[in-house]
Amino acid sequence: MNIKLLGFFFCFWLLNYNLMANEHNNKFTVADPSYQITFPKDHGPHKNFRIEWWYLTANLKSDSIDNLGIQWTLFKSTLVPRSDKKSKNLDGFWMAHSAITTKNLHHAEERFARKDSTQAGVTLSPFKAWIDNWSITGDNKLETIQLVSSGLDFSVSLRFSTKRSPVLQGVNGFSKKSEYEGASHYYSQPFYTVKGWVILKGERHIVEGVGWLDREWSSNLLNKSQLGWDWFSLHLDNGQKIMLFKVRQNDGNDFLSGAWIKRDGSKELLKANEIQLEETAYSTIQGKEIPTKWKISLLGSNNVIINTKALNIDSWMDTSFPYWEGPISFSGDLSGVGYLEMTGY
């Protein structure tokens, strides 16, 4: 099946996500608050969930480029539950995005593969997540992984290293996306140091910085009343990390969640009433009004205010499912760098 046709199937699947959820909800596996995430098993793929991803970002610097962002994501989408598979027709597929961003440019690439092909997949021992010649490889603890990717006018080879354990988001890895329904299993590895090289427009740059891995799988991520999400991963200059997200509701009653991750890897779950995410500036991108500056207020015992700024306001992922994703910096009571993802605009 060719790439354009797979892209069409993916768009069709997105448009009919809730319809198919209603049809098959009792047959797909859903996130369960009693499930105990264990490693290295849960670094690998999970059967019978509707969507799953391996998501990697890096905020980098070099002698020749002040700031540079890398994003790589592999998605696994399942169209039909295992109990309903009566033929060998397309029952799911892989999709991957790769992007590089500087203050002056943003390049994004997209690839597809059938779920039952050898063109893409994820194995655990040794760990490998790949599509075509794009890949993340490493040990099954994901303490050391290598990212290899490329696109129009760029290629990337980066080594991510850490000795820290992954951080379970939400409550023991069960992450709610609304007060009533919608949840995922979700963990992060926010403590990577990154070294390697990128080739941009034919010029090679030695880079280093910090990286963040997110792993998430679900069968009922969003409900019909939810429009999209705004998600932040923040590397503080003092070595701590913050994860925040807002799922936007069509009635304005948005769902907020987050975590403050200490240098030793311990986590403080942030309550919704302690998080304020306020858009302070919009930019017109692809005919859409996108918030590219934010004021983040964390109340309670933390009591900090920071302001974010996009490295490149034109970090639009013009893919089958378009969204904004790019590196940011922030200042105020705390300073650092991170990534912002915004969907549904």
Q: Which domains does the chain have, with CATH numbers?
A: 3-342 (2.40.370.10)
Give the per-residue pLDDT at 79.
81
pTM for this predicted structure: 0.91
Give the per-residue pLDDT at 63.
87
Give the per-residue pLDDT at 5.
40
How many angstroms separate the CA atoms of 298 and 261, rounded? 14
Angle at 244 between CA 239 and CA 249, to 5 degrees: 175
How many angstroms separate the CA atoms of 1 and 56, rounded? 27
Give the contacts of 116 (CB within 8 A, at least 6 positions apart).
88, 91, 92
How many angstroms separate the CA atoms of 315 and 325, rounded? 6
127-149: b (≥16 Cβ within 10 Å) or e? bbbbbeebbbebebbbeebebbb
Q: Regarding beta strands 183-200 and 241-249, do their DSSP bridges make them parallel or antiparallel, or are they unpaired? A: unpaired
Rg of the chain, C-alpha, whole Å: 19
Q: Are 241 and 70 in contact (CB under 8 A)?
A: no
Half-sphere exposure of residue 330: CA atoms within 13 angstroms, side-chain side: 29
Nearest to 192 by CA among 173, 164, 214: 164
Give the per-residue pLDDT at 314.
96
How many angstroms separate the CA atoms of 137 and 129, rounded? 7
Question: For residue 291, is the peptide bond before it cis, meaning its omega torsion is within 30 degrees of 0?
Answer: no
How many angstroms separate the CA atoms of 330 and 276, rounded? 15
- Lookup: tokens for 220: 């009922």
Query: Any long-range contacts for 113-119 (C-beta under 8 Å, 24+ apart)?
Result: 113/6, 114/1, 114/6, 114/90, 115/76, 115/77, 115/78, 115/90, 115/91, 116/88, 116/91, 116/92, 119/94
Q: Regarding beta strands 203-220 and 226-236, do their DSSP bridges make them parallel or antiparallel, or are they unpaired? A: unpaired
How far from 249 is each of 13, 149, 298, CA to CA, in Å?
A: 21, 35, 21
Give the per-residue pLDDT at 71.
98
User: What three-state secondary structure class fits 162?
Assistant: coil
Residue ranges in the chain modelled with pLDDT below 50:
1-24, 87
Amino acid identity at 214: D
